[in-house]
């Protein structure tokens, strides 16, 4: 990248753990490039969560996605975000908002960052409507049980998720995405879809009863994930998007 083009005020830092990068992230980054000369996708090494992918894997996957885009740089960072932004010669943090629940957390975070470094500003972009419901947490929950999350993440990340959870790539015929009860006696409600027709009750409660289930998503979540979905309290640092699931999911 030509560093001469990275003028203060025209370089934005888009931070997150990106575990993994989703199409919602990609959309926001590309839209950010319409506003700023350059966008740095800053992959956080420090996270309270236990990432599925290592830091090197997350950086490498994002680099593959944005290869050929000279205005987009991917690099890891450690420590305070505002310190990294200042070292990078920027004064803008780019963040995404999906819902009101995102705003509450992001508002606090932006004010704290401003308290630490008053010259660094936070700019928010609203997510595209088609990505309103997805997060890295939900993507991983579906992929872990064989759900077809194709179209929700870039192709290279789709492949990596399938491999990480031990499922064939591309999607094979071994997975029967049945609806409702199926032969396995699923309990997931009208929205629960599962392997072999056995819809997981936790997934049904978390997404199915919420009125919206993306095509082909898998069934079942851990108790923690189920509580998070039902209570709208997903990790507030969900890959640079802020927290929470939409309180009312669309039914289109």
119 noted as active-site residue:
no
Catalytic residue, candidates 49, 87, 119, 215: 49
The whole-angstrom separation of Cα 161 and Cα 52 is 9
DSSP of 78-138: -S-HHHHHHHTT--EEEEEE-SHHHHHHHHHHHHHHHHH-TT-EEEEEEPPGGGTT--HHH
107 vs 56: CA distance, rounded Å? 30
Cα–Cα dist 96/42, whole Å: 14
Q: Which residues pair with 74 in a beta bridge?
A: 41
Q: Determine which one of 58, 95, 98, 160 is catalytic.
A: 98
User: CB of 55 within 8 A of CB of 191?
Assistant: no
> Reading across the β-sheet that carries 38-44, which strands appear in turn?
72-77, 38-44, 11-16, 92-97, 121-126
CB 84 within 8 A of CB 13: yes
Q: Give the single-character DSSP code of 153.
A: B
Catalytic residue among 101, 136, 144, 201: 136
Number of helical (H) and strand (E) elements in the chain, helices listed first: 8, 7
25 is known as an active-site residue: yes
Catalytic (active site) residue 98: yes
Q: Is 49 a catalytic residue?
A: yes
Catalytic site residue from 25, 58, 162, 195: 25
| Dist. CA 252–CA 249, nearest whole Å | 9
Active-site residues: which are they?
Answer: 25, 49, 98, 136
């Amino acid at each position: 990248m030509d560093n001469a083009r990275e003028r203060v005020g025209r370089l934005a830092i888009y931070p997150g753990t990106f575990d993994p990068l989703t199409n919602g992230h990609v959309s926001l980054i590309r839209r950010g490039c319409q506003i700023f000369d350059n966008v740095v996708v800053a992959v956080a090494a420090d996270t309270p969560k236990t990432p599925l992918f290592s830091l090197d894997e997350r950086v490498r996957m994002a680099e593959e996605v944005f290869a050929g885009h000279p205005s987009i740089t991917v690099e890891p960072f450690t420590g305070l975000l505002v310190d990294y932004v200042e070292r990078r010669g920027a004064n803008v943090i780019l963040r995404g908002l999906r819902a009101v629940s995102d705003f509450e957390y992001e508002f606090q975070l932006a004010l704290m960052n401003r308290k630490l470094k008053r010259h660094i500003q936070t700019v928010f972009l609203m997510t595209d409507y088609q990505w309103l419901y997805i997060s890295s947490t939900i993507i991983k929950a579906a992929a872990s049980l064989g759900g077809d999350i194709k179209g929700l993440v870039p192709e290279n990340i789709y492949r990596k998720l399938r491999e990480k959870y031990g499922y064939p790539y591309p999607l094979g015929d071994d997975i029967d995405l049945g609806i409702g009860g199926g032969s396995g006696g699923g309990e997931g409600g009208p929205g629960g879809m599962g392997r072999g027709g056995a819809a997981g009750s936790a997934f049904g409660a978390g997404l199915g009863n919420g009125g919206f289930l993306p095509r082909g998503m898998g069934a079942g979540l851990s108790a923690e994930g189920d509580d998070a979905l039902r209570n709208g309290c997903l990790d507030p640092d969900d890959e640079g998007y802020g927290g929470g699931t939409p309180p009312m999911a669309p039914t289109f």
